[in-house]
Structure 1
Amino acid sequence: MPHDHDHHGHHHHHITPETGDRQVAWAVAINVGLTFAQVAGGLVAGSVALIADGVHNFSDAAALVLAFGARRLARRGADAAMSFGWARAEVVAALVNYVALVILAIWLMAEATGRLLNPPGVDGWIVVWLAGLALAIDLGTAALTWRLSKDSLNIRAAFLHNLADAGASVAVIVGGVLILLYDWRLVDPLLTIGISLFILWHVAGDLRPVLRILMLGAPERRDATEVTRRLTALDGIESVHHVHLWQIDEKRSSLEAHLVLTEGADFAEVIARAKHMLAEEMGLTHVTLEPETPARGCADHEGACPSPSPY
């Protein structure tokens, strides 16, 4: 059977949650150690880019802690208080992560701008060595999160965080080399500003799906009008109202709607057909449909129901 082969092949990619967590604990420890080295080195060498890179690495470690804490939370099932489960913890963590990146980028730009006006001398060797070390560690951390980032908004946020860092370290190395060769002092602040703009540009694109989920938006490829149209087209359904379509998390969406059935239609049969259509054609499986008859009107409280109109 072909299914078996598939099954064995998968073990290489999927890290068990436990090893994933252990690897991350290491990554966090190394990143925190690196932060101290870089900030100390930056103070000795007089390089704001190095200090910036160090602070950035610290935020990296924090991003990882946040991402994995949320991931663990998301694995908990639903309970009475959290009837949808904890999966949204990942979305919230991603939001916090991106907001932190934005604040960081703006702070770095402010620091660098001050330095453009009065660029101090920088000890290039310390900068090159420490940034080289940082680059190696950033790439290692990024490799760690990359495998996991494919199926989670939250881990993707942490991965981007790491990548931004690796980019920053490369820039800092280039800066150190240019300072050693040409004593070109403006390079340190200019690079810092470049790194910040790069981070902001990335965040702008990745924040949209996160906000969409938190704002109870419909999934990217579907919206409520399409659902309404498809439901109204079914036999036995006269009109549809109170349609709400939203994402529970990255993978699951939820739909609720009231269906006004034609006189004499069997509600159980119509709803079964509607649910089948929604699951098969629109991929919606978390669905609640409420049947109503034209004569009785909507069972909701006054005001929540559409007034009978010819549409």
Structure 2
Amino acid sequence: MDQPRTHSHGPSHGHTHGSKGGDGVIGWAVVVNLALTVAQVVGGYAADSTALIADGIHNLSDALALALAFGARRLAQRAATPDWSFGWGRAEIVAAFVNYLALIAVSVWLAVEAFGRLADPPQVAGGLVVGLAGFALVVDLATAALVWRASRDSTNIRAAFLHNLADAGVSAAVILGGALIWAFGWNLADPILTLAISAVILWHIATEIGPVFRMLMLATPPGSDPGAVLSDLHAVSGVRAAHHLHLWQIDEKRTAASVHLVVDADDPFAVTRAARDMLARRHHVAHSTIEIEPSERRTDDRDQDLPVSRTDG
């Protein structure tokens, strides 16, 4: 007997998220941070300071985070199509993962360069380092101020906002290192600061790449409890059993689920609607695909799942 399938979508089925408010501010913040990155990297080479280059790379990570948030807000406004039925929400996830991998490579390269300079630290133009790091500190604080309002309703932008505050602290450390070189000729401060900044970048990536990787691998969303979901589904009136549950994230804001329900009711579609509403209300599942099975079929499934033992002779 064919099993009816019901594709159920919760109340938040629409694919348009966010608003255009604040996009211009975020765009300017991206441009300013990219310009600052170029200035610090070029200035770092001119001053022979890996710490200044590392600070520039750290600013690049914030610019990329802001660009991803900005791009995601724009792409999320595109309507879904038959070919792109979930829209463009996952483009941000792919781009974020690629950017994290690139930043890991750059951070490791900076650390290797810094280790090489520990034994024989080169002469560093401390005054130039202090000047550019001071400019970076002003830009970091200004960027944080620009995106503060938008950060209140977007987790992506809020993360970028916090990164800018962290960058301000890193820039302050580079100013201190440049001042030590300028005042006392302590060139060893530059590679030590470079190692510290590389460690900070890698620590940020380590705390953020996990959720991105989980989304790419279609893992259960953080904080979800599949056992509780199955228990709540089993408690829906008319549901005899629930199995074959899959939970995954479409993007940062949307969770999807598919499940088989063994139904012992006259109106299986009413049971489906109740299950769909419960998933949306209690577990924030925006998209659910529910396959209905009659109660006698579940016994067959259980028999098929058991190991088969054979006795010859």
TM-score (norm 2): 0.80
Aligned-pair CA distance for 1:47: 1.9
1:185 maps to which of 184, 187, 211? 187
2:45–2:53 CA contact under 8 A, matched in 1: yes
User: 1:283 corresponds to which residue?
Assistant: 284
- Root-mean-square deviation (CA, aligned residues, Å) is 2.9
Aligned-pair CA distance for 1:297: 5.6
2:20–2:73 CA contact under 8 A, matched in 1: no
Q: How many Å separate the matches in 2 of 1:120 and 1:205?
A: 33
Aligned-pair CA distance for 1:133: 0.5
User: 1:84 corresponds to which residue?
Assistant: 86
- 1:205 equivalent to 2:226? Answer no
Deviates more, 1:178-187 or 1:55-64: 55-64
The 1:307/1:173 distance shift into structure 2, 3 A limit, reads same
Contiguous gaps of at least 5 residues in structure 2: 1-17, 307-313
User: 1:102 corresponds to which residue?
Assistant: 104
User: 1:270 corresponds to which residue?
Assistant: 271
The 1:36/1:60 distance shift into structure 2, 3 A limit, reads same
Aligned-pair CA distance for 1:146: 4.2
- 2:234 partner letter: T
SS of 2:110's partner is: helix
- 2:271 partner letter: V
SS of 1:243's partner is: strand
1:74–1:90 CA contact under 8 A, matched in 2: no
The 1:248/1:40 distance shift into structure 2, 3 A limit, reads closer
User: 2:227 corresponds to which residue?
Assistant: 225
Q: How many Å separate the matches in 2 of 1:170 and 1:75?
A: 38
- 1:270 partner letter: V
The 1:275/1:59 distance shift into structure 2, 3 A limit, reads closer
Number of residue pairs aligned between Structure 1 and Structure 2: 289
1:113 maps to which of 115, 127, 143? 115
The 1:48/1:220 distance shift into structure 2, 3 A limit, reads closer
1:57–1:165 CA contact under 8 A, matched in 2: yes
Aligned-pair CA distance for 1:176: 0.9
SS of 1:91's partner is: helix
- 1:17 equivalent to 2:54? Answer no
Aligned-pair CA distance for 1:122: 1.7
1:121–1:185 CA contact under 8 A, matched in 2: yes
Deviates more, 1:189-198 or 1:200-209: 200-209
Aligned-pair CA distance for 1:170: 1.5
The 1:152/1:144 distance shift into structure 2, 3 A limit, reads same
- 1:295 partner letter: E
Q: How many Å separate the matches in 1 of 2:139 and 2:289?
A: 49
Q: Calculate percent identity across the aligned residue pairs.
A: 54
SS of 1:218's partner is: coil
SS of 1:31's partner is: helix
Aligned-pair CA distance for 1:157: 5.3
Deviates more, 1:143-152 or 1:218-227: 143-152
User: 1:236 corresponds to which residue?
Assistant: 238
1:257–1:289 CA contact under 8 A, matched in 2: yes
Aligned-pair CA distance for 1:48: 2.1
The 1:39/1:90 distance shift into structure 2, 3 A limit, reads closer
The 1:210/1:149 distance shift into structure 2, 3 A limit, reads farther
SS of 2:296's partner is: coil
- 2:106 partner letter: L
